[in-house]
Amino acid sequence: MKNNLKNKKNMKEFKDLEFKDKDYGDGKRAYLEFPNKYGVSVITGYGSYSDEDSPYELAVILNGGLCYDTHITNDVMGYLTSEEVTEIMKQIQEL
């Protein structure tokens, strides 16, 4: 049980993402891979499924490529808040 709690404390969250300019419009992208070989690609701005209140779109990554076959989602997930991104990141790290 203690080991499980320790791992949860070390989980990456939204605040750990580093957004970089993309080569289109005003969009930005953050990419983060986890020790389990899964990861996230999070984009915001032009070209993303987002709006002012929910500015992020997230894709699940596996071994560097898009992954559409997890119980989390079978597509990209748009219109997310930073809190929702953190929750999804935690789920991905538990795969």
Q: What is the pLDDT of residue 25?
A: 66
Question: Above pLDDT 90, what percent of the chain?
Answer: 79
Domain range for 39 is 2-93
How far apart are alpha carbons 45 and 59 in whole angstroms?
15
Q: What is the pLDDT of residues 16-36, one digit of tens each?
A: 999 988 666 678 999 999 999
Q: What is the pLDDT of residue 26?
A: 78
Across the chain, which has 95 residues, the per-10-residue mean pLDDT values are 57 96 78 97 93 97 96 97 98 97
Look at the chain and report how many structural domains it folds into. 1
Q: What is the pLDDT of residue 23?
A: 63
How far apart are alpha carbons 53 and 79 in whole angstroms?
8
Q: Which two tokens stand for residue 30?
A: 């953050």
